[in-house]
């Protein structure tokens, strides 16, 4: 059995009773960063073996993990924060388990984009999750495609690239497109800034940006946007 266990995105109280129960019962916990997970486990007095599982080693150890699971071991997969598989490692192992007939259970729990979406004030009836935009190759192509996306769009972004991304989106989507930036969700210094892409870019350009970022952007409403053409990778 493989369990996908969501962990808090900030406040350590945002974990379910079932998640703690599973973490206490499994044979081993697969962790994106064992130091981060150890902090959570120590807080809740959970003592279990930890095995690193992250984007740099997942291709190498998937077969070994499948062998252990097939032999009867119970494993829980966690990431540093949120639900495994949402812009975090999980897909390769889940796919391998499905292919080998190993049961997979995904527990409900914390994820950053849901609270960011529902508190944005933008439509929630239809939306798309795009994760992190490409840094260079493919960025232009994707933004060209998304500028006429009618659903509310959700992105993850790093603090260092937030202002650049807001300006890029303003260029492609129009400076007056509405957006919401959620920063440090569930933590002491949580911040939710709403406004046009231009307004929000200006706000964050005047301060040092820290923490995890979720960017929610209004969908296309029918008005064509003209913008300067940039080469793919700019």
pLDDT (tens digit per residue) in 173-226: 999 999 999 999 999 999 999 999 999 999 999 999 999 999 999 999 876 555
- The model's pTM: 0.89
Structure tokens at 224: 């064509």
> What's the pLDDT score for residue 164?
97
> What's the pLDDT score for residue 223?
65
Buried b (16+ CB within 10 A) or exposed e, 61-84: bbeebbeebeeeeebbbbbbbbbb
Considering the domain boundaries, does residue 10 fall inside one? yes
Structure tokens at 86: 């949402």
Cα 72 vs. chain centroid, distance in angstroms?
30
Alpha carbon distance 204, 192 (integer Å): 12
Residue 15, domain extent: 2-106
Alpha carbon distance 175, 35 (integer Å): 41
Residues 100 and 172 occupy one common structural domain: no
**Residue 84, pLDDT above cutoff 60:** yes
Percent of the chain with pLDDT over 70: 95
Considering the domain boundaries, does residue 231 fall inside one? no
* β pairing state of 75-78 and 104-106: unpaired
Considering the domain boundaries, does residue 42 fall inside one? yes
């Amino acid at each position: 059995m493989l369990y996908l266990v969501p962990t808090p995105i900030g406040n350590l109280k945002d974990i379910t009773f079932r998640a703690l129960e599973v973490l206490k019962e499994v044979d081993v916990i697969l962790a994106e960063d064992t130091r981060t997970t150890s902090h959570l486990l120590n807080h809740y007095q959970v003592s279990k073996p930890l095995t690193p599982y992250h984007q740099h080693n997942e291709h190498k150890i998937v077969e070994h993990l499948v062998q252990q699971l097939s032999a009867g071991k119970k494993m829980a997969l966690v990431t540093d924060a949120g639900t495994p598989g949402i812009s975090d490692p999980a897909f390769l192992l889940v796919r391998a388990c499905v292919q080998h007939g190993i049961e997979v259970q995904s527990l409900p729990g914390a994820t950053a984009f849901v609270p960011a979406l529902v508190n944005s004030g933008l439509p929630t009836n239809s939306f798309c999750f795009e994760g992190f935009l490409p840094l260079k190759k493919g960025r232009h192509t994707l933004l060209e495609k998304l500028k006429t996306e009618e659903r509310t769009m959700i992105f993850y972004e790093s603090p260092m690239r937030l202002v650049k991304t807001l300006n890029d989106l303003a260029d492609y989507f129009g400076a007056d497109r509405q957006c919401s930036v959620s920063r440090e969700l569930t933590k002491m210094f949580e911040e939710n800034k709403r406004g046009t892409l231009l307004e929000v870019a200006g706000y964050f350009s005047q301060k040092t940006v820290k923490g995890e970022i979720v960017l929610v952007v209004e969908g296309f409403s029918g008005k064509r946007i003209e913008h300067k053409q940039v080469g793919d990778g700019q």
